[in-house]
Amino acid sequence: MKYLTYEINSEMSYGVLVDENNILPLKPIIQEFGLNNAPDLLSFIRQYNIQTVNDILEALPRYAEQMIPLNSVKLLSPIPYPRRNIFCVGKNYAEHAAEIANIGASNSSIPKEPIYFSKVADPAIGDGSLISIRSEFASLLDYEAELVIVIGKDGKDIAEEEADNYIFGYAIGNDISARDIQNKKLQWFKGKSLDNAAVIGPWIVSKDEFTLPLELNISSKVNGEIRQQSNTKNLIFNIAHIISDLSQGLTLRAGDLIMTGTPAGVGIAMDPLGVLKSGDVVECKIAGIGTLINEVKFI
């Protein structure tokens, strides 16, 4: 099931995609699913249990008259305001680790341990929104297509075999990165956290549509030209390992977002440079999830 957050008549709402063209809003009907107060998708995820998904599926035909057309809404990021920063994994595809080592941006190639950093999302922006970046920070602006894990249940010290039970679903991320800032500072945090640099969408696909380990084609294009092309089976540290490792002594919360790393093909490693310009359109795609398309605008 695809869960989405959207704006209609200047109000934020959320629902499920019933078919290619129609949304069923969930807010008016959540009481039937045992959820009393879920004003947004994050609240819904924090209360749902796996039975809820099946209940919603069963109830869909009865609410058919409440459906609204997908093209009548503006999509927002599924969780525009996460409870805390997005967890991110760096250098998690071998070919990407190698390409940035080649340009001297990193002193080692393949990490032996997951590299974690975080990214501000206040808000995260969704499919179709402008990646508006102030031009003084945009001289080396880059895209990073990534698989995003949405945590479905609080947990810590999670065993790899149990990791699947803590996942709500998956989305597509574009970890927009200001390389000039990233290179200047010892930590990546600032260069990853400019306003409008967290792009996540177009919706969350519930985890029941996938089995671990995930083997999903992932790609990005800039103005129609393919830049990144890989498969999530090439993650150095896979989904189960990341959830298990990150949760040792650190409680993961329902609704937390984890960006799992980007494949080779980022603009900073291209010759000539393939960094983003104002007006560029970036398209990130993951099989089974969808496509996330955003135009870049320097302001």
Identify any residues that bridge with 285 across adjacent strands, giving them in sequence order. 219, 291
Q: Which of residues 29-48 bind Mg ion (CB under 5 A)?
A: none
Q: Which one of residues 99, 127, 142, 144 is an interface residue with Mg ion (CB under 5 A)?
A: 144
As measured in angstroms, the least distance from the Cβ of 16 to Mg ion is 28
As measured in angstroms, the least distance from the Cβ of 195 to Mg ion is 17
Stretch that binds Mg ion, among 59-67, 103-111, 125-133, 171-179 (CB under 5 A): 171-179
As measured in angstroms, the least distance from the Cβ of 260 to Mg ion is 8
As measured in angstroms, the least distance from the Cβ of 259 to Mg ion is 6
Residues contacting Mg ion: total by CB under 5 A: 3
Q: Which residue type does 127 have?
A: D
- Closer Cβ to Mg ion, 92 or 244, answer by number: 92
- Closer Cβ to Mg ion, 129 or 228, answer by number: 228
- Closer Cβ to Mg ion, 5 or 92, answer by number: 92
- Closer Cβ to Mg ion, 118 or 165, answer by number: 118
- Closer Cβ to Mg ion, 13 or 262, answer by number: 262
- 197/179 Cα distance (integer angstroms): 12
Stretch that binds Mg ion, among 9-17, 49-57, 238-246, 256-264 (CB under 5 A): 256-264
As measured in angstroms, the least distance from the Cβ of 93 to Mg ion is 10
As measured in angstroms, the least distance from the Cβ of 182 to Mg ion is 10
DSSP string, the chain: -EEEEEEETTEEEEEEEEETTEEEESGGGGGGGT-----SHHHHHHH--HHHHHHHHHHGGGGGGG-EEGGGSEEE-SSSS-SSPEEEEES-BHHHHHHHHHTTS-S-SS-SS-EEEEE--TT-B-TT--EEE-GGG-TTEE--EEEEEEE-S-BSS--GGGGGGGEEEEEEEEE-EEHHHHHHSSSSHHHH-STT-EEEEEEEEEGGG--SSP--EEEEEETTEEEEEEEGGGBSS-HHHHHHHHTTTS-B-TT-EEE----S--GGGSSS-----TT-EEEEEETTTEEEEEEEEE-
User: By Cβ distance, which residue is nearest to Mg ion?
Assistant: 175
280 binds Mg ion (CB under 5 A): no
175 binds Mg ion (CB under 5 A): yes
As measured in angstroms, the least distance from the Cβ of 162 to Mg ion is 26
Nearest Cα to Cα of residue 81 among 45, 114, 44, 125: 125
262 binds Mg ion (CB under 5 A): yes
As measured in angstroms, the least distance from the Cβ of 151 to Mg ion is 18
142 binds Mg ion (CB under 5 A): no
Please, which residues have CB within 8 angstroms of residue 184's CB and are 6 or more apart in sequence?
A: 191
- Closer Cβ to Mg ion, 52 or 260, answer by number: 260
129 binds Mg ion (CB under 5 A): no
Which chain residues interact with Mg ion by CB under 5 A? 144, 175, 262
